[in-house]
A and B are shown apart, each in its own frame.
Chain A
Amino acid sequence: MLTPIQAWVATLVTLGVLSYLYKENPVFRLLEHVMLGLSTAHILVMSWHGTGKMILMKYILEDQKLLYIIPVVGGLLIYTRFFPKIAWIARIPMSYWVGYGIGYSFAYDPRPMLGQIIDSFIKFQGKTPGVTVNNILFFIFLTCSIAYFFFTIKRENPLMNVAATIGRYAIMAALGAGFGGTVISRAATFYGRAFFLLKTFPNTVFR
């Protein structure tokens, strides 16, 4: 729970950010820069207290697990980019990071993808005629949407043209539905702020 002074500060900064909706102004600019400083600092603090301190103080200095020096030094190599002559060395940690990402993508992504493919094998016959129709429609929309993404098959092919058109409409319907279905959560975030301004703030300050 916020103290009254905190509530005052929080209210002022909330209004300050909302003022951007009118136009860009010095108050917003100030808050923007305050946030830049605080957030960058917060990353540094969390990195140090969350992981850095444990690795340096406990693993390396206390437990003498000296192998941990390798990734520490490896990470530090990134700073060579500030010295033009040896800047190429910075590519070593970069290539390690990228390799790690590729490895994870290769190791973890094929299975969920196969899961999606297997699930697309649909038995059309449903419990009711309505379900059957929906199953068939799902199949048509799915295959046509995939066809929409074919980059090499020419659209002049009439079958391809029909499929890609249906696919394009299905994608548009999906994006429309995506828009309509998500307004609610956008509104919910502001609902949270309005709740703070109109209820939490007066209850905290004018108790």
Chain B
Amino acid sequence: MAVSERAILKSEIRWAWVVGGIVAVILGAILFAALSMGMNPPSNREFVDPKTLHLSSEFTEANLGTSVDPNGRIVARMITTQFEFVPNCIVLPADRDVTLRFASPDVIHGILITGTNVNTMVIPGYVAQVHTRLTKTGDLLMPCHEYCGLGHSQMLATVRVVPPEQFRPDSQGRVSCGDDR
């Protein structure tokens, strides 16, 4: 045979360099986003007992929704439960750092906000948390994206993203959608 196996393997190795290059470019871009913009998947090993969630202080019914901490941090807290979000609408400012915190008293849920990078699973037992900065305004849909039972399809919420100057907390630092949603 004119072409030795060694030559064949040499051409494979040449190709392997191409493959290595692709993998390196992808890893490089991922690392760049992680190092320069703090882009990570939403990890948060913070426990909360689903069986007594409604008795907890943070996720008590009256404390849900968007609020501004005394130190100026904007935090939105929501319950994902079979088969609705509580509250069903939250207000967030665009172009500001915001933190979303979710907890489930029953089964697994998951959320995303359409057209953004906000996405997390909500696992009973944990506080699911996403830090983000929203880049566009308007009423965005926030559906439950993980099968949570027969009412899963009707489980949706609204995220009202307003320009920063229209984001006006009340005296307790709270902002709500105002309507019944």
Does B bind A? no
Q: Which residues of B contact A (CB under 8 A)?
A: none
Q: Which residues of A contact B (CB under 8 A)?
A: none
